[in-house]
Amino acid sequence: MGMTLTEKILAEHAGRDYVEPGELITVKVDLAIANDITAPLAIKQLEKYGINKVHDPEKIALVMDHFFPPKDILSAQQIKISREFAKKMGIKNYFEGQDSGVMHTILPEKGFVAPGDLIMGADSHTCTYGALGAFSTGVGSTDIAYIFATGETWLKVPETMKFTFYGKRQKWVGGKDFVLTVIGKIGVDGALYRAMEYHGEAIKDLPVEERLTITNMAIEAGGKNAIMEADEKVLEWLKDKTNKPLRMIKADPDAKYCCEYEFDASKIEPVVAAPNLPSNVKPVSEVAGTPINQVFIGSCTNGRITDLRIAAQILKGKKVHPDVRCIVIPASDRTYKQALKEGIIDVLAEAGCLISTSTCGPCLGGHMGILAEGEVCVSTSNRNFTGRMGHPKSQVYLAGPAVAAASAVLGRIAHPDEVVKAEEEVLV
């Protein structure tokens, strides 16, 4: 019997010809990653057991992104612990500040990910790298400590769900609308410990950055991982970023899926996930007019250059509503510099956006954009649970960059056409 994409990668890293769902296997890990919150916890575990050497420092990456720049003494200490550990262990792949950014954006940009890789991270959104044809998933800090020490881990082979998007997508619809549509359909536990495999012409039509948005939010559906075939577009995107061998891995024609879903992309309009679950998905038209206090454009979900281009396209020549603070955080230093080069930063600044250094910041309710009681935010991040971005009585609507930018202009949740068409009518 054939294998799915996930099963093929797991079999290869387990030294097996074949694996099937439910099997417990031990796999070699190509890259183990942690951040300023999770790395110190792993480091303490290694110290607890007297382990003073990592298995392979070249296969570890530490990225300071959650509370960076340090927001207080505790966060500064966390970063110091991680920095000193990296120096002690000879870990060169340590990123803090200059030429850094949000982990799940900078690691693909810097060539740490290639099709067929197996990546484990002490962060739930490690599943992002599946868009590049890799198996990647999040684990706890104790698990990461074990991987640091041994270079391997164990896991259960997950069942695979197949999602196919066909047809031509509407204007302003992107990867965020696709993945929210999926989560709205199956729920926040609909893919519990399952692999989510994406196919279809509408997926292949998406830029690589928008595919990364889709796989990023596998965990919001309970998924173990999400994955796509690495096509020509992925290989082209990667070729000047990595020296790793680039290959295409395809699911076998007779691969077995536990369930299959199909979506007509032409019928998907811009959507939002209303409070307080990523599965509470509604067309923008149903919630348009809801007053807001903040817009956040950034995070490992939608802080890439393609997202900033969309936001600038809508905000160019306009002003952020006086009752709204619009916070824009490029997800990497490279993204920020590219946005500078293209004039995007100028457009956003002229519109009245507040532009920050690369950080996770407000996404996790960390800093640089916390919500007060009763405040409402449209966010391009990945979670809108109660209290996620601040006060338990604040509210967060998840959306793509187009809806977020349009909402910033009008001071309420809005469809992008409300902003763009209004300008066109004035010009006529």
Domain at 5-264, CATH from 3.10.20.90, 3.40.190.10, 3.30.499.10, 1.10.287.3510? 3.30.499.10
Mean pLDDT, rounded, for 121-149: 98
pLDDT of residue 285: 94
Predicted confidence band of residue 421 (pLDDT cuts 50, 70, 90): confident
Residue 210, pLDDT above cutoff 80: yes
How do strand 94-95 and strand 60-63 relate by DSSP bridges? parallel
Instruction: For residue range 29-77, list pLDDT tens digits in order.
Output: 999 999 999 999 999 999 999 999 999 999 999 999 999 999 999 999 9
Residue 427, pLDDT above cutoff 50: no
Predicted confidence band of residue 97 (pLDDT cuts 50, 70, 90): confident
Distances (CA, A) of 97 to 225, 310, 353: 29, 26, 22
Predicted confidence band of residue 17 (pLDDT cuts 50, 70, 90): very high
- Burial label for 232, CB within 10 Å (0-12, 13-18, 19+), is exposed
Mean pLDDT computed over every residue of the chain: 96
> Quick one: which of 203, 220, 221 has its CA closest to 212?
203
pLDDT of residue 238: 97
Contact 186, 284 (CB under 8 A): no
pLDDT of residue 299: 97
* Per-residue three-class SS string for the chain: CECCHHHHHHHHHCCCCCCCCCCEEEEECCEEEEECCCHHHHHHHHHHCCCCCCCCHHHEEEECCCCCCCCCHHHHHHHHHHHHHHHHHCCCCEECCCCCECHHHHHHHCCCCCCCCEEEECCHHHHHHHHHCCEEEECCHHHHHHHHHHCEEEEECCEEEEEEEECCCCCCCCHHHHHHHHHHHHCCCCCCCEEEEEECHHHHHCCHHHHHHHHHCCHHHCCCEEEECCCHHHHHHHCCCCCCCCCCCCCCCCECCCEEEEEEHHHCCCEEECCCCCCCEEEHHHHCCCECCEEEECHHHHCCHHHHHHHHHHHCCCCCCCCCEEEECCCEHHHHHHHHHCCHHHHHHHHCCEECCCCCHHHHCCCCCCECCCCEEEECCCCCCCCCCECCCCEEEECCHHHHHHHHHHCECCCHHHHHHHHHHHHC
Instruction: For residue range 342-396, list pLDDT tens digits in order.
Output: 999 999 999 999 999 999 999 999 999 999 999 999 999 999 999 999 999 999 9
Residue 263, pLDDT above cutoff 80: yes
Residue 428, pLDDT above cutoff 50: no
Instruction: For residue range 298-338, list pLDDT tens digits in order.
Output: 999 999 999 999 999 999 999 999 999 999 999 999 999 99
pLDDT of residue 422: 55
pLDDT of residue 1: 83
> With pLDDT > 90 as the criterion, what percentage of the chain qualifies?
97
pLDDT of residue 98: 84
> Quick one: which of 350, 355, 316 has its CA closest to 336?
355
pLDDT of residue 423: 53
In the chain, domain spans: 5-264, 271-427
Mean pLDDT, rounded, for 121-139: 98
Residue 176, pLDDT above cutoff 70: yes
Same fold, 5-264 and 271-427: yes
Residue 425, pLDDT above cutoff 50: no
CATH fold group of domain 271-427: Aconitase; domain 3 (3.30.499)
